[in-house]
Amino acid sequence: MAGRHPDPAAKSAVALVACPDYDETRVLAALRRGVDLLGGIQGFAGSGDRLLLKPNILVGALPQKHVTTHPAVLRAMGLLLQETGARVRFGDSPGFGNAIAAAARAGLAEVAAAIGMEQADLATPGQVSFNEALIAKQLVLSRAALEADGIISLAKMKTHGFMRITGAVKNQFGCVPGIRKGEYHVKMPRAEHFAAMLVDINRYLRSRLYVLDGIVAMEGNGPGSGTPRRMNVLLLSSDPVALDAVFCRLVHLPVAFVPTMKPGAESGLGTWNDDEIEVRGDEISALACPDFKVVRRPAVEFDRSFPYYLKKWITPRPFIDPALCRQCGVCTEVCPLEPKAVRPLPGRPGTTPAYDYARCIRCYCCQEMCPHGAIAIRRPLLSRLIHR
Ligand code: SF4
Ligand code: SF4
C-alpha cells in the first residue's frame, strides 16, 4: 500500500485548536476552524458520501467521566459533515456490553438524534484479506466500517496501560466487533505485535480525518478509570501517527514509548518526526501539560515462552483493590483467555476475583473495562529497579 506521502517533501498537517470547554457553539466554532486549517470540510466529505463517525465509546460512561468522546464533539462534527450533503451515521463497538445502551449513557445518542444522525451497528463482522499488512493479513472488522465510503475518527485523548496512550491510531480498534477484540489480544500479546495490528487496521480502513478530543483528557489509570485532566485542545489531521505524535509533544511523552509510532511510520501510515509535521493553529507550548500523568517508560515485552519467574518479577500486572471491587464479574467476562486468568476462587462465586499471573498475558483488558475503577496496573519491584 502506498504511504501517505507520495511527495517526500510534503509535511503532515496537524491542526491544533484551543477550546476552553464543551459549550456546543464553541466546540462547533473550534472544529470548523480546525477543519479550515486543513483546507476545509470539502476535502473530507462530499454530497451523497456515506460516512461513519467513529467516536470512542469504550464503555457506557457518563460524559462527565471523560471516558468517551464528548457529545458536543460528535454533534459538531456531524453538523459540519452534513453541511456538505454527506449522509452521516455514528457508531463504535464497545469492548463490553450493548452498543446502543452505551451510546445513550455517554450522551451520544441524544445529540445524534437531535441532528438526524442514526447509530450504525458495528457488531456485525466482515472478514477481509490484507496482503500488505505488517502482521494481520486477515482482519475481522465491522461491516458498517467496511461498507462506509469514508470514516471520520473521533478519538478521546487518554492514557492506556498497554499502548501508553489511546489517541488516533488506537481508536480504530473499536472497528473490531465486540468480543473479537479479545481474540486479537490472545493472538498478539506482545505490545509491538499488537501495535502493528492497530497500524494495519488504520491502513486498511484509511479514515479520511482523525479528530482528537482533548478538551478534557484522561490521565493516570486510563482509559476507563483515570482522572479527567483539562487540556483545552482539539487536534485534527488526516495522518493519525502525526496526530498522536503531537499528543505526545503536548504531554512531553517521548514517542519512542508509544509502540504504534515505529510501525506507523515504517508502513507509511504517517510520520512522528517533528521535521515532517506542520502544526497549524494555536501554539503548542501554550497548551502543553508536561506533568500529565502517563507511563513514561518503554513497554516491557514478553511472550508465552518468557520464563515465569521473569514475567512475574518484571512485567507490570493488574491488581484489584478489594475495597473498590463490587464483584460485578466484568473483569472475568472480558478476560480473553480460557480458562480465565482472573476469576473468583473455586467454590467462592460472587467474591472479589483473583489473578493467575502465570497465565495472564498482561493485555490489561480487565483494567480497561472495570466499571468501578478497582483495577490498577502495578510495577513489580524489579521493574521499578530497572526503570526508575
Ligand atoms: S470488574 Fe472491577 S469491580 Fe467488577 S469484579 Fe472485576 S475488579 Fe471487581
Ligand atoms: S487477567 Fe486481565 S490482563 Fe490478564 S489476560 Fe486477563 S484481561 Fe488480560
- Domain, as residue range, for 216: 12-287
Please tell me whether residues 253 and 355 are part of one structural domain.
Answer: no
Q: What is the reported pLDDT for 298?
A: 81
The pick from 59, 326, 332, 334 for probing ligand 1's pocket by mutation, whose C-beta has the most ligand atoms within 8 angstroms, reads 326
Please report whether residue 292 resides in a domain.
no
Q: Say if residues 303 and 340 touch (Cβ distance below 8 Å).
A: no
- How far is the centre of ligand 1, averaged over its atoms, from the C-alpha of 345 (Å)? 14
Please tell me whether residues 263 and 320 are part of one structural domain.
Answer: no
Residue pointed to by grid coordinates 458495528: 122
Please report whether residue 110 resides in a domain.
yes
pLDDT per position as a tens digit, 40-78: 999 999 999 999 999 999 988 999 999 999 999 999 999
Atom number in ligand 1 closest to CA 324:
3
Please tell me whether residues 380 and 257 are part of one structural domain.
Answer: no
- Percent share of the chain, pLDDT over 90: 86
DSSP 277: E
Please tell me whether residues 235 and 367 are part of one structural domain.
Answer: no
What confidence tier does 179 reach under pLDDT thresholds 50, 70, 90? confident
Q: Closest ligand to 338 CA?
A: 2
Please tell me whether residues 232 and 92 are part of one structural domain.
Answer: yes
- How far is the centre of ligand 1, averaged over its atoms, from the C-alpha of 111 (Å)? 31
Average pLDDT over residues 20-26: 98
- Among left, alpha and beta (phi > 0; psi -120 to 50; other), residue 146 is alpha
Please tell me whether residues 273 and 130 are part of one structural domain.
Answer: yes
Closest CA to 187 of 171, 175, 176: 176
pLDDT per position as a tens digit, 315-341: 899 999 999 999 999 999 999 999 999
Please report whether residue 302 resides in a domain.
no
CATH code at 236? 3.40.50.11440
In this structure, the chain runs to a length of 388
Please tell me whether residues 167 and 259 are part of one structural domain.
Answer: yes
Please tell me whether residues 269 and 362 are part of one structural domain.
Answer: no
Please report whether residue 295 resides in a domain.
no
Q: Is 370 in the pocket of ligand 1 (CB under 6 A)?
A: yes
Please report whether residue 296 resides in a domain.
no
Atom number in ligand 1 closest to CA 375:
7
Please tell me whether residues 263 and 360 are part of one structural domain.
Answer: no
The residues, any chain, with a CB within 8 Å of residue 171's CB and separated by 6 or more, are 54, 56, 153, 154, 155, 156, 210
Please tell me whether residues 177 and 87 are part of one structural domain.
Answer: yes
- How far is the centre of ligand 1, averaged over its atoms, from the C-alpha of 161 (Å)? 17
Q: Is 53 in the pocket of ligand 1 (CB under 6 A)?
A: no
pTM, rounded to two decimals:
0.94
pLDDT at 1 over 60: no
Please report whether residue 318 resides in a domain.
yes
DSSP 356: -
Half-sphere exposure of 13 (CA within 13 A, CB side): 13
Closest CA to 162 of 340, 339, 317, 386: 317
CATH code at 375? 3.30.70.20
Please tell me whether residues 246 and 327 are part of one structural domain.
Answer: no
Please report whether residue 300 resides in a domain.
no
- Among left, alpha and beta (phi > 0; psi -120 to 50; other), residue 50 is beta
Please report whether residue 301 resides in a domain.
no
Buried b (16+ CB within 10 A) or exposed e, 192-221: ebbbbbbbbbbbbbebbbbbbbbbbbbbbb
Residue bearing the CA closest to ligand 1, atom 4: 328
pLDDT at 3 over 50: no
Continuous H helices in the chain: 24-37, 71-82, 99-105, 108-114, 143-147, 168-171, 180-187, 191-205, 240-251, 261-266, 284-287, 308-314, 330-334, 365-369, 381-386
- Give the chain's domain count: 2
Q: Closest ligand to 340 CA?
A: 2
Instruction: Give the residue, 129 or 8, on which the prediction is more confident.
Output: 129
Of 59-63, 94-98, 261-265, 346-350, highest mean pLDDT: 261-265
Please tell me whether residues 213 and 73 are part of one structural domain.
Answer: yes
Q: Is 363 in the pocket of ligand 2 (CB under 6 A)?
A: yes
Strand partners, 164: 160
